[in-house]
Amino acid sequence: MSLIQIEHLKYRYPGTDRLALDDITLSIEKGEFIGIVGRNGAGKSTLGQAVNGLVPRFHNGAYGGKVTVSGVIAENTPVEEMCGHVGLIFQNPFNQLSGAAETVFNEVAYGLQNLGFPAQEIRSRVEEVLKQLDIWEYRERNPFELSGGQMQRVAIASILCMRPEVIILDEPTSQLDPQGTEEVFRVVEDLTDTGITIIMIEQKLEKLAKYCDRIILMEGGKVRCFDTPEKVFSREDLDECGVEPPAFTRICREYALTLQDGTYPVKLEDAERLFREKGVSPEKDAPAKIVSSGNEEVFRTSELDFSYIRNVQIFKGLNILLDERPTAVIGQNGAGKTTLVRLLKGLLKPVSGRIYFRKEDISGKTVAMLADKVGYVFQNPDDQIFKYKVLDEVMFGPLNIGMTEKTAREESLNAISLMGLSGLENVNPYDLELYQRKMTAIASVVAMDTDVIILDEPTIAQDYPGKRLIGNMIRELSRKGKLIIAILHDMDFVEENFERVIVMAHGRILMDGSADEVFAEDQVLAEARLQKPYITALREILGK
Amino acid sequence: MSGLSLYVDQGTYLNRLHPYTKLLYVLTAILVPLIGGKKILFAVTIASSILLLIIGKTLKRAVPLIAFSFTLIIVIFLVQGLFFHKNEIPLLSLGFLVFYREGVMYAAGICLNILNMLLSFAVFVLNTPPQELVEELEKNGFSSKFGYVINSVFQIVPQMMKTKDTILDAQRSRGMETEGSLMTRIKAFLPLISPVVMSALINTRERAIALEVRGFGRKNKKTFISERQKLKGDTVITALLFSLLILAVVWRVKSCL
């Protein structure tokens, strides 16, 4: 018998009329690494939570069918008992910390303490997993003070020490920088060698394809396909399911390079082999992205010094000139990216030095004074949403900066349509999914019709159609002569959508140039701990 | 370290003492002068608390607490010194203000009491990690759910304060004025409070799931992993503090006879 068996599973959340899971039947063997892909809202997380019994025991709602893990029926087993069999790790590392422990060691021990394991056993298990996940050195640190990647590893350790047979990871890397993502994937890869069954929901398909044995493709609460990554990502209906195949699959499809069984490769090695056999090298796409209207100076900083705490300098004598080209700022967490854009927005004040906006010194201006010139979309949309209708939320900014009701409404409706929210104007933003709330937040700033729009991590939690919408928005606004500045961790998105790329590390600008120039500089990327876009990497390997 | 807890690990002997021993000190320091009924006893307990704060390297951090209480102390001296109902003998006159001996003495009694309580509590709070106290209470049958609530306050509230700052920035970025007249501030209230409450609710829901999958709802007995060795000093100090309490009671009873 399979480790996990799902038979005719149907589920509907309370207060909704749509089936979140619609007649799902599948089985998963012990030790398999399974990926779940699909557009936002396809039912991926719900399926994950059905395996550990949170659906229906925590969420309630209408439930039919049967899920068994190791012979235990999920529907009839209390979650606290089920957690011995199935562990769950989700997106936001911060919310997974219990809040009851002041050290990493105690945080990881917390679950075992609740389950009443003997103290000696708890200590040895915690030590074992902390060492296994390479976070033993942080054992005395306060978990809330760690970086996202470290925090997520603590969350994995907390689940791992309970020795579940199955671990479900629900987009565990979506809020992490490239290095944090790499840390998590490395750890998960090591886990598969220990015989643990992994189910991972993830939007980073290149990585998922590299590690998974099989992939579940979901659409509208149903399983479209459950097969090897090559078979799943070679399907013709992927676009319909809101999934973009991994970069290597896309490029091989373009060149009609197939594996022996007629599928397209999903991994770098396979793509490389096929290209070599055929003796071709992938051409660079025509630069469809160059669209900005001019190179006029927008921002200029002169000898900018900044520090949050006295004697701990973030910027020293920073000089930078930003023109109208869409600009991506990349680098690790802590590199100074957010600090830089907050200074430009006036949310922070320089310790010394000057900031000029269209040649006017704005160092002394307040945020409100700059509101009609510089827009800023925060990372978390829930930090700003407070109205009961999408349209009212989007109109809040335009009305604040003195637009008339009529203009504000027009601008807002345009922004709503640009961000793909048409038809949702009168919906309560809190009833929307996270990715839609994010679009609402972007629309609410776009509607203010500012000269500059700063985006902090706009692609987090977005699926392929969402990223495409954001890409279009960047092009559209650049064409109108607006400066778009974005902080990003998605290098493929950077390469596709930005003319200018600024690489930062330790409060310094390591490099400033076009995407091609930047991604060709191995040394700079290594120092900033960044990775190349996938196709660039493939092209380079083939060129060697 | 969490922003709400006043405790800082200084590695001192006072840090290592059992929370109950320190709690008993607070009780003794407050009760002995009250039972004994002599003002001189306040001087003794206040002096010993200050001494303990010095030994614990926490005197500097206790100063704001004491400074804050001085506002209250001054008000008490003013009110009682001028208006105490038993005021008879003038002590000091400043222009038309006359301070009376009875009122000043009465105020001194109250203020010594306040100062004594504050300082002895400072000894406890500045030298005891809240988690340690909660864990000891839980070991003695205190509900672990209540324990969680207390512990999480120290960790999660400071995080919520950070969220509030981000929300303030997000709304200012959209042109909302947050400073100025009362009306401006009232108008800014809703755009600030709604996201704070909503994000707290969203986070709470996620955290509830995270706790649930780590056996929070389990009804069996929880294991405690920290090995708290009772120090020799704990027994000696506890015995000493108890004898002081008994001595105070005996003295008071004898003096009444």
Q: In chain A, where are the structural domains located? A: 4-243, 246-280, 326-331+367-543
A74, A51 in Cβ contact below 8 A? yes
Please give the Cα distance from A330 to A489 (Å, whole number). Answer: 6
Say which of A78, A117, A384 has its CB closest to residue B167: A384
Say yes or no: do domains A4-243 and A326-331+367-543 share a fold.
yes
My answer on whether B30 and B124 are in the same domain is yes
CB pairs under 8 A between A and B: 175
Q: Do A383 and B166 touch (CB under 8 A)?
A: yes
Question: Angle B39-55/B101-127 helices, nearest 10 degrees?
Answer: 30
* pLDDT over 80 at B155, yes or no: no
B6, B130 in Cβ contact below 8 A? no
My answer on whether B124 and B237 are in the same domain is yes
Name the DSSP letter for residue A387.
-
Give, in order, the Cα–Cα distances in Å from A265 to each of A224, A501, B72.
Answer: 20, 30, 76
A345, A367 in Cβ contact below 8 A? yes
Q: How confident is the model at residue B48 (pLDDT cuts 50, 70, 90)?
A: very high
* pLDDT over 60 at B205, yes or no: yes
On whether any CB of chain A is under 8 Å from the CB of B10, the answer is no
Please give the Cα distance from A11 to A45 (Å, whole number). Answer: 12
My answer on whether B33 and B121 are in the same domain is yes
Q: Do A98 and B152 touch (CB under 8 A)?
A: yes
Calculate the average pLDDT of chain B. 86
The answer to whether residue B136 is domain-embedded is no
The answer to whether residue B5 is domain-embedded is no
My answer on whether B90 and B118 are in the same domain is yes
Q: How many CB atoms lie within 10 A of CB A162?
A: 23
A308 phi and psi angles, rounded to 5 deg: -80, -45
Say which of A81, A88, A368 has its CB closest to residue B177: A368
For residue A197, which of A154, A229, A168, A223 has the smallest C-alpha distance? A168
Q: State how far residue B62 is from chain A, nearest Cα, in angstroms.
A: 23
Q: Do B206 and A90 touch (CB under 8 A)?
A: yes
Distance of CA A178 to the CA centre of its chain: 10
Q: Do B203 and A95 touch (CB under 8 A)?
A: yes
For residue A5, the number of C-alpha atoms closer than 13 Å in the C-beta half-sphere is 10
Residues of A in contact with B198 (CB under 8 A): 382, 385-386, 430
In DSSP notation, B235-256 reads: HHHHHHHHHHHHHHHHHHHHHH
Whole-structure pTM value: 0.81
My answer on whether B117 and B34 are in the same domain is yes
For residue A437, which of A458, A409, A451 has the smallest C-alpha distance? A458
My answer on whether B33 and B84 are in the same domain is yes
Q: Which domain holds residue B76?
A: 13-128+230-256
Q: What are the respective helix, strand and coil percentages of chain A, to the nearest 5? A: 40, 20, 40
pLDDT value of residue B156: 78
Residue B180 DSSP SS3: coil
On whether any CB of chain A is under 8 Å from the CB of B223, the answer is yes
The answer to whether residue B3 is domain-embedded is no
My answer on whether B120 and B241 are in the same domain is yes
Q: Do B212 and A371 touch (CB under 8 A)?
A: no
Would you put residue A408 in left (φ > 0), alpha (ψ -120 to 50) or beta? Answer: alpha
Residues of B in contact with A83 (CB under 8 A): 212-215
Say which of B148, B190, B207 has its CB closest to residue A386: B190
My answer on whether B121 and B164 are in the same domain is no
Name the DSSP letter for residue A431.
G
Starting at the edge strand found earlier in the chain, the sheet holding A21-28 runs: A21-28, A4-12, A62-69, A72-73
What's the total number of domains in chain B? 2
Q: How confident is the model at residue B44 (pLDDT cuts 50, 70, 90)?
A: very high
Two structure tokens written together for A18: 């749509």
pLDDT value of residue B2: 46
Q: Do A106 and B225 touch (CB under 8 A)?
A: yes
Reported ipTM: 0.79
pLDDT value of residue A293: 58
A11, A55 in Cβ contact below 8 A? yes
Show the low-confidence residues of chain A (pLDDT under 50). Answer: 286-287
A306 phi and psi angles, rounded to 5 deg: -150, 140
Q: State how far residue B171 is from chain A, nearest Cα, in angstroms.
A: 6
Question: Angle A268-278/A247-254 helices, nearest 10 degrees?
Answer: 20
Say which of B171, B207, B217 has its CB closest to residue A79: B217
My answer on whether B201 and B234 are in the same domain is no
Q: How many CB atoms lie within 10 A of CB A369?
A: 12
My answer on whether B235 and B121 are in the same domain is yes
The answer to whether residue B134 is domain-embedded is no
pLDDT (tens digit per residue) in B87-146: 888 888 888 888 898 999 999 989 999 999 999 999 999 999 888 888 888 888 888 888
What are the helix (H) ranges across A352-402?
Answer: 367-370, 390-400
Distance of CA A37 to the CA centre of its chain: 14
CATH superfamily membership of A4-243: P-loop containing nucleotide triphosphate hydrolases (3.40.50.300)
Please give the Cα distance from A261 to B61 (Å, whole number). Answer: 72
The answer to whether residue B221 is domain-embedded is no
Q: Do A117 and B223 touch (CB under 8 A)?
A: yes
pLDDT value of residue A1: 81
- Which amino acid appears at position B1 of this protein? M
The answer to whether residue B222 is domain-embedded is no
pLDDT (tens digit per residue) in B61-75: 888 888 888 888 999
The answer to whether residue B46 is domain-embedded is yes
Say which of A58, A116, A123 has its CB closest to residue B212: A58
A355, A304 in Cβ contact below 8 A? yes
Q: How many CB atoms lie within 10 A of CB A266?
A: 28
Please give the Cα distance from B129 to A136 (Å, whole number). Answer: 23
For residue A158, which of A85, A104, A100, A196 has the smallest C-alpha distance? A104
Q: Do B222 and A52 touch (CB under 8 A)?
A: no
A457, A380 in Cβ contact below 8 A? no
The answer to whether residue B217 is domain-embedded is no
For residue A168, which of A202, A128, A206, A123 has the smallest C-alpha distance? A202
In DSSP notation, A434-495 reads: HHHHHHHHHHHHHTT--SEEEEESTTTT--HHHHHHHHHHHHHHHHTT-EEEEE---HHHHH
On whether any CB of chain A is under 8 Å from the CB of B165, the answer is no
My answer on whether B148 and B124 are in the same domain is no
pLDDT value of residue B3: 60
Distance of CA B15 to the CA centre of its chain: 16
pLDDT value of residue B226: 77
- Kindly indicate whether the domain formed by A326-331+367-543 is annotated with CATH number 3.40.50.300: yes
Pairing of strands A222-227, A214-219: antiparallel
Say which of A58, A109, A123 has its CB closest to residue B209: A58
Q: Do A144 and B212 touch (CB under 8 A)?
A: no
Say which of B177, B195, B222 has its CB closest to residue A384: B195
Give, in order, the Cα–Cα distances in Å from A221 to each of A12, A254, A377.
Answer: 10, 30, 31
Q: Which residue bears the tokens 């002590």?
A: B91
Residues of B in contact with A159 (CB under 8 A): 213-214
Please give the Cα distance from B142 to B153 (Å, whole number). Answer: 17
Q: How many CB atoms lie within 10 A of CB B172?
A: 25
Q: Do B174 and A448 touch (CB under 8 A)?
A: yes
My answer on whether B120 and B18 are in the same domain is yes
